[in-house]
């Protein structure tokens, strides 16, 4: 399986990527995770990327393309792979094509997760995370028993800086402007699978697997 996963912020890309990776035993390459690690480690690159990430904007192509290509060089993509959050615009899609061409491989499918903007906004703005045990709550669904406090360890829950409403709306605009053209690009290439991402993680995963298994 050689896959790309695209979708607007909060469509559940990370959750589905982890399930797909485990199901097919393939390499999972998440550009967002790679960037967050650089930010956490306060590398030069992380410091350069952080402002863009906090504003909900895409980090510059030269930075992300080099970063992903470097990661791919040290990743076992022979057994199959899933790119999550990359490519995010046509320039990155071309860079990925070039990389894969050089390696002599092609993409099998591009999974496009989509749902309504109001669902995406509620998922993000309702999310609260425990800084101690990383449990993820949602005040509109899976709320903690006491507002703002982790059920497990009593820690004060926090909101990710890019989950604030203003940033979420900005990320959606950026998706429409820069990433949505990829949907058409991969549709024309006959690679696109449309998946409704409004259900539970298990429902969405079942839909992905059944589409992929149909070939
Ligand atoms: P994600 O976890 O994929 O939603 O990514 C979080 C943030 O990292 C995004 O809002 C961007 O600022 C940045 N980012 C992740 N992947 C890319 C990419 N392929 N190109 C540019 N910026 C990216």
Q: How far apart are CA 37 and CA 76, in angstroms?
A: 20
User: Higher model confidence: residue 9 or residue 215?
Assistant: 9
Q: Could you tell me the pLDDT band of residue 184, with boundaries at 50, 70 and 90?
A: very high
Residue 76, C-beta contacts closer than 8 angstroms, at least 6 positions apart: 27
Does 90 sit in the ligand 1 pocket, CB within 6 Å?
Answer: no
pLDDT of residue 14: 87
Structure token pair of residue 108: 């099998």
- Domains by residue range for the chain, with CATH: 2-115+177-213 (3.40.50.300)
Packing angle between helix 90-103 and helix 180-188, nearest 10 degrees?
40
Choose the catalytic residue: 19, 88, 109, 123. Answer: 88
Q: Give the model's pLDDT for residue 69.
A: 87
Note if 127 is an active site residue: yes
Query: How many Cα atoms occupy the beta-carbon half-sphere of 153 within 13 Å?
Result: 10
Closest C-alpha to ligand 1, atom 5: 32
Band of the pLDDT at 55, cuts 50, 70, 90? confident
Give the nearest ligand 1 atom to 174 CA. 10
Mean pLDDT confidence for 52-76: 89
Question: Who has greater pLDDT, 3 or 15?
Answer: 3
pTM score, whole prediction = 0.87
64 lines ligand 1 (CB under 6 A): yes
Percent of the chain's residues with pLDDT above 90: 74
- Give residue 78's pLDDT: 84
Distances, alpha carbon 19 to alpha carbons 28, 76, 143, in Å: 10, 18, 24
Per-residue pLDDT, averaged over 167-186, amounts to 93
Q: Is the peptide bond before 87 cis (omega within 30 degrees of 0)?
A: yes
């Amino acid at each position: 399986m050689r896959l790309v996963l695209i979708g607007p912020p909060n469509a559940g890309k990370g959750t589905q990527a982890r399930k797909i990776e485990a199901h097919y035993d393939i390499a999972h390459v998440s550009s967002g995770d790679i960037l967050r690690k650089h930010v956490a480690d306060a590398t030069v690159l992380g410091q350069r990327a952080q402002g863009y990430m906090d504003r909900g904007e895409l980090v510059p192509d030269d930075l992300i393309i080099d970063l992903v290509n470097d990661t791919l060089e040290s990743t076992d993509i022979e057994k199959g792979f899933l790119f999550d959050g990359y490519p995010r615009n046509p320039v990155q899609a071309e860079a990925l094509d070039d990389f894969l061409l050089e390696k002599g491989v092609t993409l099998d499918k591009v999974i496009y997760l989509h749902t309504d903007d109001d669902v995406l906004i509620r998922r993000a703005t309702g999310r609260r995370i425990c800084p101690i045990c990383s449990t993820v709550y949602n005040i509109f669904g899976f709320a903690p028993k006491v507002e703002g406090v982790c059920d497990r360890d009593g820690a004060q829950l926090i909101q990710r800086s890019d989950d604030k409403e203003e940033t979420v709306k900005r990320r959606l605009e950026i998706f429409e402007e820069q990433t949505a053209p990829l949907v058409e690009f991969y549709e024309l290439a006959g690679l696109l699978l449309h998946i409704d991402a409004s259900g539970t993680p298990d429902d969405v995963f079942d839909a992905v697997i059944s589409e992929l298994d149909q070939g």
